């Protein structure tokens, strides 16, 4: 009996020691974790040093926060159009949407053909690396700079804005489309090649139909980005649209209430675009 009791005590102690709640997990310090922690520490020290050495002159931080809160309250709770009418604002919003739509359509058409050669399962590795590298270089430069670069040749206005935004949209969509093409199973492509299908038949009968939902999702996402960029280009490049009116209200005659009204216009359009994109995605899923 005593031997049985000893065996039961030993087995119970073993179970307790092996239970998940009693285990002590020690995560080893790897090179990546050390670099991450060091980077966070440096950023915290730089932030503290910046706040300590910044020259705020005679600005009172508390009064500045109170003034900001009052301006936000007036902007969003008391919106009012004083320098132009509602119909004019709606027309300017349509211009901004037109700029976003044109740049998205032009960029999507060109990006589809280039992304076919950028996908490694449809093209050679050298061609794919060249196209992806060129697209990465374009994406690294902000859209505003591309617009200003093209403005040297075309002049400030809607033409330079459309060319610059299209240029940046192409690079963005090449990455999105090519990655969706590369997710296609290699066995499908090999089976079509074995059956004698040409390269264009493989593209239009297998690659694009299997990736159409992803392509439309990425295209709508880029359309939303282009709408936001078109608002900024209206002020920065003189492209017109609602962005130019917001620039005039914020800097020329400084009407906070009008800025709030324009912001609501932009917000409503952004919500409508998101609802439209969601409905199209649902219909695509049902049809596919």
Residue ranges per domain, the chain?
A: 2-56, 84-287
Q: Can you give the pLDDT at residue 27?
A: 64
Q: Can you give the pLDDT at residue 240?
A: 74
Give the pLDDT confidence of 196-223 residue by residue, as tens digits. 888 888 888 888 888 888 888 889 889 9
Give the pLDDT confidence of 152-179 residue by residue, as tens digits. 777 777 788 888 889 889 999 999 999 8
CATH for 84-287, among 3.40.50.700, 3.40.1280.10, 3.40.50.360, 1.10.3720.10? 1.10.3720.10
Q: Can you give the pLDDT at residue 173?
A: 93
Q: Can you give the pLDDT at residue 25?
A: 60
Q: pLDDT truncated to tens, each residue of the chain (288 aa)?
A: 545 555 455 455 544 444 455 565 656 677 778 888 889 999 999 998 887 787 767 777 778 788 888 888 888 888 888 777 888 888 888 888 888 999 999 999 999 999 989 988 888 888 889 999 999 998 888 888 888 888 877 777 778 888 888 988 999 999 999 988 888 888 888 888 888 888 888 888 888 888 888 888 889 889 988 988 888 887 776 677 888 888 888 877 888 888 888 888 888 888 888 888 788 777 766 454
Q: What is the DSSP track for the chain?
A: -HHHHHHHHHHHHHHHHHSGGG--------HHHHHHHHHHHHHHHHHHHHHHH---TT--HHHHHHHHHHHHHHHHHS----SS-HHHHHHHHHHHHHHHHHHHHHHHHHHHHHHHHHSTTTS-HHHHHHHHHHHHHHHHS-HHHHHHHHHHHH-TTHHHHHHHHHHHHHHHHHHHHHHHHHTS-HHHHHHHHHTT--HHHHIIIIIHHHHHHHHHHHHHHHHHHHHHHHHHHHHHS---SHHHHHHIIIIIS--HHHHHHHHHHHHHHHHHHHHHHHHHHHHHHHH-
Q: Can you give the pLDDT at residue 285?
A: 61
Closest to 180 (Cα-Cα) out of 209, 220, 138, 222: 209
pTM above 0.85, yes or no: no
Q: Can you give the pLDDT at residue 284?
A: 67
Under a CB-based contact definition with an 8 Å cutoff, are residues 282 and 233 in contact?
A: no
């Amino acid at each position: 009996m005593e031997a049985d009791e000893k065996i039961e005590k030993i087995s119970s102690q073993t179970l307790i020691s092996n239970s998940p709640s009693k285990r002590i997990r020690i995560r080893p310090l790897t090179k990546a974790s050390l670099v991450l922690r060091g980077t966070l520490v440096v950023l915290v020290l730089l932030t503290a040093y910046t706040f300590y050495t910044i020259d705020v002159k005679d600005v009172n931080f508390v009064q500045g926060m109170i003034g900001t809160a009052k301006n936000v309250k007036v902007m969003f709770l008391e919106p009012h159009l004083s320098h132009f009418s509602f119909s004019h604002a709606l027309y300017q919003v349509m211009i901004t949407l037109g700029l976003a739509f044109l740049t998205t359509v032009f960029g999507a058409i060109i990006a589809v053909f280039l992304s076919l050669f950028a996908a490694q399962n449809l093209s050679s590795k050298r061609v794919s690396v060249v196209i992806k590298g060129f697209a990465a270089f374009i994406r690294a430069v902000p859209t505003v700079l591309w617009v200003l670069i093209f403005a040297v040749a075309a002049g400030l206005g809607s033409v330079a804005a459309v060319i610059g935004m299209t240029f940046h949209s192409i690079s963005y969509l090449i990455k999105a489309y090519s990655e969706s093409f590369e997710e296609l199973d290699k066995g499908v492509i090999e089976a079509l090649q074995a059956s004698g299908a040409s390269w264009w038949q493989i593209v239009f009968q297998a690659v694009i139909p299997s990736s159409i939902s992803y392509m439309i999702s990425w295209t709508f996402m880029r359309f939303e980005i282009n709408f936001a960029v078109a608002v900024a280009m209206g002020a920065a490049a003189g492209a017109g649209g609602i962005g130019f009116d917001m620039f005039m209200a914020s800097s020329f005659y400084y009407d906070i209430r009008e800025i709030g009204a324009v912001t609501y216009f932009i917000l409503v359009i952004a919500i409508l675009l998101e609802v439209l994109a969601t409905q199209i995605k649902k219909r695509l899923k049902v049809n596919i």
